[in-house]
Amino acid sequence: MTSASAIFACSGVALSLGGRQILREVDLHVARGEVLGLIGPNGAGKTSLFEVLSGRYRPEAGRVVMDGEDITGTDIVRRARLGLARTYQSPVVPAALTVAETFRAARLSHRPFQSRHRAEWAARLVNLTVPWTRPAGSLDTFDRRKLLLACLLMRRPKVLLMDEPASGLINTEIDELDLMLRMLVDEYHLGVVVIEHRLELLEALADRVTVLNLGEVIAEGAPGTVFEDPAVRAAYFEGAA
């Protein structure tokens, strides 16, 4: 698969924050029905790249393309309406709202408004089985992640950016997350980019892995090959140790 066949891609992305170069000439791409893992040591620029891809940060160079359209200058709201969805490291939910009220706020967040039936469909997709009368803030970490993901899936996104979705989960929950994401990718042909430190999850889930170090791509390819790359081991594994 090449960048020409990608549903979502960036090329030559550069970003500076506070006078410090964060990203340097970053390229990546993901196709429909593909999971791309994004790894690197702390400070590599992974979350900053997500901020550029989602539209929160404007790069100083490079471009972002979605479904053949250059969206580099498009704001975060417009990108969401085009089919770009994102989850964050911390699954923050509206604590004062019930699960039902959270779904309602998501359903009516922008046109076209979604029906309760669409919310019920999305809840089943992610196996969210808690009572809808429960306060969202009382849910455990995995159920909060499921709730937020279901709210995004109601809109049938084309591309999903996930920032450390396994953070705070136990092994059985990670196994369920793996199966859930693979089902979503296979059945709904999402393009998914996942930042994740749980390499066993990426080994099972990702079709390809891109490695960032000090804001630059240092490797890209199949997980098993990339994880054994000497440059990756030096930058990521040995550096983390």
Q: What per-residue confidence (pLDDT) applies to 4?
A: 60
Looking at 91-95, 112-116, 200-204, 210-214, which range is the least confident one?
200-204
Percent of the chain clearing pLDDT 70 (strictly above): 96
Average pLDDT, rounded, for the chain: 94
Question: How large is the average pLDDT for residues 220-225?
Answer: 95
Structure tokens that stand for 106 in this block = 């998501």
Is it the case that residue 110 has pLDDT exceeding 90? Answer: no
Q: What per-residue confidence (pLDDT) applies to 239?
A: 55
pLDDT tens, 121-160?
999 999 999 999 999 999 999 999 999 999 999 999 999 9
Is it the case that residue 178 has pLDDT exceeding 70? Answer: yes
Is it the case that residue 8 has pLDDT exceeding 80? Answer: yes
Is it the case that residue 84 has pLDDT exceeding 80? Answer: yes
Residue 240 — φ and ψ, nearest 5°? -70, -35
Structure tokens that stand for 85 in this block = 């969805």
For 3-83+159-240, which CATH superfamily applies? P-loop containing nucleotide triphosphate hydrolases (3.40.50.300)
Q: Distance of CA 90 to CAs 24, 30, 136, 145, 210, Å?
A: 26, 24, 14, 9, 22
Closest C-alpha among 162, 101, 104 to residue 133: 101
Q: What per-residue confidence (pLDDT) applies to 1?
A: 46
Question: How large is the average pLDDT for residues 34-46?
Answer: 95
Is it the case that residue 238 has pLDDT exceeding 80? Answer: no
Q: What per-residue confidence (pLDDT) applies to 5?
A: 79
Residue 220 — φ and ψ, nearest 5°? -160, 135
Kindly list the domain boundaries of the chain, sorted by start residue.
3-83+159-240, 91-156
pLDDT tens, 58-75?
999 999 999 999 999 999
Q: Where are the beta strands (DSSP E) in the chain?
A: 8-17, 20-30, 34-39, 61-66, 69-70, 84-87, 159-163, 191-195, 208-213, 216-221
Question: How large is the average pLDDT for residues 91-99?
Answer: 96
Is it the case that residue 237 has pLDDT exceeding 80? Answer: no
- Identify whether the C-beta of residue 94 lies closer than 8 Å to the C-beta of residue 134: no
